[in-house]
Structure 1
């Protein structure tokens, strides 16, 4: 069969140069993004980087000992896992141990300290009205200790501290622009709660005690024990803060502490719980389109909306600080916004939020309401020594396997092995850069099972090359030259490769869905490398072989090209036999 004329593109060849340029540009862009992001190595999981292991013990409320059951424990595991991973700490492991313990493993990395703090705040979330507010910092030597009498001077001090957090303007959720609301101290209320334009106040049906601030409590006239506890409380002392909230029932008033944005401690007297955190359907941090500031939005259930509407309609008529709500998690006031109008099913918390602080508050509101309370029983540091040894052994095994694959390719495919090796390097480069970028993007962390998935992917990728090469060699055995063989062999090889990779990707997807923890790392890596195998074969291996098929070394069937006709047992092309007519036909 005559060889095709030089420079003429065969049917099905396409434009291989464009495909190669496209994938090379993609690799350069990914590499540039990796260096611009400041991350040049993948994030590591707890088994490779070490981290912190926290043991939590479940405790039920008095008279509710049966609450510590498998159902509530599983619910708590799900909430804690979402809460921790909601902070960007991926690969955090949360699992039960025994009947009343939960183990939380947090790998080293971004937000580890913050995640540990959030894991420790595992009690129920409540909205409580603020009855009294004062500075929680210890009084300087020689100055009179702050009292809780509710005098204007003290109220102004507390309000001034909160104004740092909430800003000097508050909105009522109805007007389009912020409107300053002067207080008795001559300044705007701190923070704001905004609702939809048509609130629907209704009576609370939850049967809880009326959270309306009691004059006697706010003036320090009746509950002497609570007032003494409030006056003696120093919020900078961790033990005092913890002891102050212990044993308090939702239906009882309490004292608690919270920090403003300046990091200063403030102490509160809080009324009975008006709304439980379980009544929050959703909470998220968003940017207010009107002001460009970060806010936290909340959506309540129908029961929660009724209770919220009732208490906010009462609080909006109070003077600061008794028009404020304390959002209490594990006995600590995580936020204390003021109320400007009656609120219903939807509300917004606005103030001097940053993206981080708004997302943290939204995360607490979304995942803070656990069915049980927990105490931190132990905290231990996990070293990466064992994982490092296993990783080293795994990399040695993977290296040996890769060397054997390369040796096989060189011995059997000779010149074609160069295409396979370069394609493997391209696949490895794409996999590495994408894994590095996925760390800061989605919190992907590389653990031992994920490394195992990457090693398994070497065989999947090499198998695709072999399928393509064998299809081309089959065409050459049929007597075709190299360029037509590549053009005709690719469609059949393509179908086989796609079917094989689809089965592999489907297996990885099912494994990712039905498993938890580290096994998901294996499934994710296997699925990612399977998709990259399709990209590399389509946009790199096939175009590269198409270009090299025009070179004399491969097109002529050089013995070291891997396409030697003699070694392949090429069949001679079929030729039509000529019919000869005798010059002098004999008579019959």
Structure 2
């Protein structure tokens, strides 16, 4: 039947809604793993738990402020999308417990909780690691996956390998002395490591302090320093930087085993390992002129020439520091290329050591043999900043659901009861219009389910019990939209209009109220999402998503369906519709004055 003036063509709305639903479920069944399974949260399906122990330079307990800052940074790194609801909590005075839902790769989680303390240092000297050990075989987790020493990244022009320098800087930290370190810090743990070094090395320690260049340790001389191979990474960390560089037996494998935070002090010269021409290389590095705190933002992308890259944007003062560093290293341009190098150091590793081809006034770019996961992790680490503390991973465990399927079943039961009560009320009060409510809720549920699957698959959204609560609350909000529309329709019929003519007038008045109410709810959900954390953020997200779907269903399904049904005589039957027996005020007044003959609405 053709629509009359002022009435809509329901078929257009139904086609639009059908296309949306088909598109959603097409993505569900033909993309990703093609399984219609929403991603459940930690409280419903369990996941991975990692315990981190904080370490301070002096060995004392970290401050509460430092622990809270570290907790927040780790939470932001792990929860990039803001809706996956990881659990990051402080346990005691030193520990942070990170729990992530699902079968998360422990190695990926390790990378995200690495300190990611970035330093830009001038290269004073470099020498090939002649130990023959594989630095990756015994090293601790790389700070950014394969974005480690194998990268030949460049913040500016092309990077070229530098020939090994013949001597280290004369100002190398850690002047020769009777102790392994010139540090005056009194820390029982550090002191214990120093004593262990002295016991293992004995007189060799004094001899090593006299070595001024790696080239001096060759042939028979090298045999003298074999005891250095027995040192652990913790013990190597307490040696002076000059000794770490000059003794070949201190390999890159040993240097990479140093605990996190061993070389992060910006005012000290340090030794770190990278890779040049496919071979592990030790670098003697100057004091840090630019640090991670000078980075304003970090992002990743692809470059036609260099593949996956990480782009760094510096803050105002950080940009000035970066420009000055490249100016100091470049000089007047006559300095040999091997002396015009800047190392990008992430934690204990040299990510890249490019040659500076000129003064750089712009941003930096890191590229190398990276995968998408590498640059994603590295950009997240740098974007959210360095951790204020160094952490040691104490344990990685698989945890069971904290609430389990019983809680999910309870939540679904509550939702079913809520829907059932809404449906019963609508059938009792609105009769045939109650069937419209049932159909609308089914369409809304279909759209919500597909959205949950796609959000979990593509954006990491996890459905927790708080999210289930958000959907249960949204049932009432969706039903409220129906009530507003139906009550407006009853008012129009009560004024003497036919059901068919009352629908467009009622919708014109009801939609403003529906949009106003949903807008207020969306603003409330948005504010709650921005200000809340954890489960409350998940509640706000599902509440906002349900509100958007509610608007779609009311506009594309509920209103067109009522408009279509209003053209059928059976729907306007007084007993069936719940509208045809509504008496007007005039008929009620007539009855009050003794005139019988109640007016019935005329059905077209």
Q: How many residues align?
A: 505
Q: CA deviation at 1:352?
A: 4.0
2:295 — aligned with what?
Answer: 280
Bigger mean CA deviation after superposition, 396-405 or 38-47: 38-47
2:575 pairs, out of 551, 555, 559, with: 559
TM-score (normalised: structure 2): 0.72
Alpha-carbon RMSD across the aligned residues, in angstroms, is 4.0
Q: Which residue of 2 aligns with 1:9?
A: 4
1:297 aligns with 311
1:48 matched to 2:60? The reply is: no
Query: What is the CA deviation profile of residues 485-514 of structure 1, one whole-angstrom value per residue up to 9, with x for unaligned ones?
Result: 212222222233223323322321221122
Cα 1:470/1:123, change in 2 over 3 Å: closer
Say whether residues 1:432 and 2:449 are aligned partners: yes
Secondary structure of the residue aligned to 1:433 is: helix
Please identify, of 310-319 and 277-286, the stretch whose mean Cα deviation from structure 2 is larger: 310-319
Partner of 2:14: 20
Q: Give the deviation of 1:326 after TM superposition.
A: 3.9
Q: Does the 8 A contact of 2:159 with 2:354 survive in 1?
A: no
Structure 1 unaligned spans of 5+: 1-5, 141-160, 174-178, 186-208, 577-588
- The reply to whether residue 242 of structure 1 matches residue 258 of structure 2 is yes
C-alpha distance in 1, partners of 2:3/2:437?
A: 26
**In 1, Cα distance between the equivalents of 2:3 and 2:116?**
75
Distance (whole Å) between structure 1 residues aligned to residue 112 and residue 155 of structure 2: 30
The structure 1 residue matched to 2:56, chosen from 50, 57, 60, is: 60
Q: Secondary structure at the match of 2:497?
A: coil
Match of 2:554 among 537, 545, 548: 537
Counterpart mapping for 1:58-97 below 5 A = 58-62=54-58, 68-86=62-80, 90-97=84-91
Question: Quick one: structure 1 residues 102 and 406, their matched pair in 2 at CA, closer, same or farther if it must change by over 3 Å?
Answer: same
Is contact 1:88-1:111 (8 Å) kept? no
Judge which range, 387-396 or 291-300, deviates more.
Answer: 291-300
The worse-fitting range, judged by mean Cα deviation, of 451-460 and 39-48 is 39-48
Q: Measured at CA, do residues 137 and 475 of structure 1 come closer, stay the same or move farther in structure 2, by a change above 3 Å?
A: farther
Write out aligned runs for 1:91-490 (5 A): 91-108=85-102, 113-119=107-113, 121-122=114-115, 124-130=117-123, 131-134=125-128, 165-166=151-152, 173=157, 216-217=212-213, 219=215, 225-227=243-245, 230-233=248-251, 235=253, 241-242=257-258, 246=262, 249-257=265-273, 266=280, 268-274=282-288, 275-288=290-303, 291=305, 293-300=307-314, 301-302=318-319, 304-306=321-323, 308-310=325-327, 312-313=329-330, 317=335, 325-384=342-401, 386-490=403-507
Return the alpha-carbon distance in structure 1 between the equivalents of residues 472 and 527 of structure 2: 20
Is residue 230–residue 255 contact of structure 1 (8 Å, CA) maintained in 2? no
Distance 1:260 1:531, change over 3 A: farther
The corresponding residue for 2:206 is none
| 1:301-342 CA distance string (max 9 Å, x none) | 14532552255427994566x765443333233444454444
TM-score normalised by structure 1 residue count: 0.74
Q: In the superposition, relative to structure 1, how do residues 513 and 347 fare at CA in structure 2: closer, same or farther (>3 Å)?
A: closer
Query: Distance in 2 between the 1:246 and 1:163 partners?
Result: 17
Over 3 Å counting, the alpha-carbon distance change for 1:465 and 1:299 in structure 2 is closer
The separation in 1 between residues aligned to 2:306 and 2:283, in whole angstroms, is 34
Q: In 2, Cα distance between the equivalents of 1:332 and 1:80? A: 20
| Contiguous gaps of at least 5 residues in structure 2 | 135-146, 165-170, 174-210, 218-239, 591-604
> 2:156–2:360: 8 Å Cα contact kept in structure 1?
no
Quickly say closer, same or farther: Cα 1:258–1:401, change in 2 above 3 A.
farther
Measure how far apart 1:521 and its partner are: 0.3
User: Aligned partners of 1:547 and 1:71: how far apart in 2?
Assistant: 62
SS in 2 for 1:242: coil
Equivalent position SS for 1:271: strand
Q: 1:123 to 1:385 in 2, by over 3 A?
A: closer
Per the alignment, do residues 137 and 390 of structure 1 end up closer, same or farther by CA in structure 2, a change over 3 Å counting? farther
Secondary structure of the 1:82 match is: helix
